[in-house]
Chains A and B, each alone.
Chain A
Amino acid sequence: MTAVPTGPTLASLSRAELSARLAHGLVFRTGQFTVRLQCAIGSVTEGLHRLYGAHPLLDDDAFVDFHLRMKRPATLRRWYRPKVDLLYDGQAIFKPLPLAQAFPLFEWGLNWCVANRAHTYLMIHAAVLERGGRAVILPAPPGSGKSTLCAALAHRGWRLLSDELTLIRLDDGHVVPVPRPISLKNASIGVMRAFLDQPVFSDEVADTAKGTIAHLLAPADAVARGAESARPAWVIFPKYRAGSPSLLEPMPKAQAHLELAQNAFNYSLLMEQGFDTLGLVIGMSGCYRYTYSVLDEAIAVFDGLAAQP
């Protein structure tokens, strides 16, 4: 366990101060990573102001893992159906997107940075949360209800480690947090607006490649404990199915190993080390498939697991 870092957070900046810092480069921390973002786009400033208040603010000369810059093109497209570019180390990593999608573009860009650069970890496309020092890993393809379930658990007693990127330390198999806003899309946005008491969202952005997107504020405690890793205890493959009863079914560990590998970004790159690390995770975890349709029932099942010794 690591001490909770103290020091200023983005919440110490007024919106005007945040905008000024962003104009020449704002440096902040998310979990293990430090980010420098240069950007003069109002919707990004607003998104950070709303959703990144608990993230540690760093000095301008701090070591930075990811240098990001968002800019509007110096062409007619600055005004005509305006676009925005995201640059990583000065190079565009995606094709330009409509200006209205600037904040989701920043979030996707940060995901890209971690997924393409953090190879000192085994990276799995999965949500991950912690309770009592034990982590539950939720790997699943889009449309499985993973992010909705993750958002609900993160606001009902489980600590959010990540909604998208499960980072596994290679030496001991423990999960390292990257606590950031939770990405929700389409019907999930309305579900969480109804489920949570006064949730804080980014503005909804329609017509993205993923449909309508909104980001939900990560609980401040999860962000503050961004240096605190957790031991895997459960690997659960969730599946939302309308009208389904809540059904938790054990699955063979070898099968879970294979399916978890299929959800890893860099399993092949890490070769034997990836295989062994995944084996560590599976060895420490109870493995299940979980089908649900009602969030309260799902939370009761997960709380039941957490209550077991």
Chain B
Amino acid sequence: MWRLMPGLVLRSQTWDGEEYVLYNNLAGDTHLLDAAAMEVLTLLQVEAMDTARLTAVLGLEGQGDAMAYLTDLLQQLQRFSLAEEIPA
């Protein structure tokens, strides 16, 4: 299961819907994210989800290596302290 890092407020800006800047209020860092990463964070803000459910909600089922890329993205978000994996 993945969830948004507790206490994180999704304060972001975009001017083209493709690239976003996100302010991490927990660390004081600013991140440059693409639309997919922002969508994942927005979904995790609503509720914690496992990779399979995220894949379904994003409409990625059966889309080649999409699930592997999603896993990579989640791990990257965890390295940025924007999301974290929790026991199911």
A residues contacting B by CB (< 8 A) are 252-255, 257-258, 261, 267-268, 271-272, 275-276, 279, 282-283
CB of B13 closer than 8 Å to a CB of A: yes
Query: Chain B, 17-31, contact with A by CB distance < 8 Å: what is the 0/1 string?
Result: 011110101001010
CB of B47 closer than 8 Å to a CB of A: no
The answer on a CB contact under 8 Å between A252 and B30 is no
The answer on a CB contact under 8 Å between B13 and A252 is no
Given contacts A258-B30, A271-B28, A272-B11, contact A279 B16 (CB under 8 A): no
Given contacts A271-B28, A272-B23, A275-B23, contact A254 B15 (CB under 8 A): yes
Given contacts A258-B32, A261-B30, contact A275 B11 (CB under 8 A): yes
Residues of A within 8 A of B25 (CB): 271-272
The answer on a CB contact under 8 Å between B32 and A254 is yes
CB of B14 closer than 8 Å to a CB of A: yes
CB closest chain-A residue, reference B14:
A254
Q: Is the interface of A mostly helix, strand, loop or mixed?
A: helix
B32, chain A: closest CB distance, angstroms: 5
Residues of B within 8 A of A254 (CB): 13-16, 19-21, 32
The answer on a CB contact under 8 Å between B11 and A253 is no
A124, chain B: closest CB distance, angstroms: 14
Residues of B within 8 A of A253 (CB): 15-16, 19
Residues of B within 8 A of A283 (CB): 13, 15
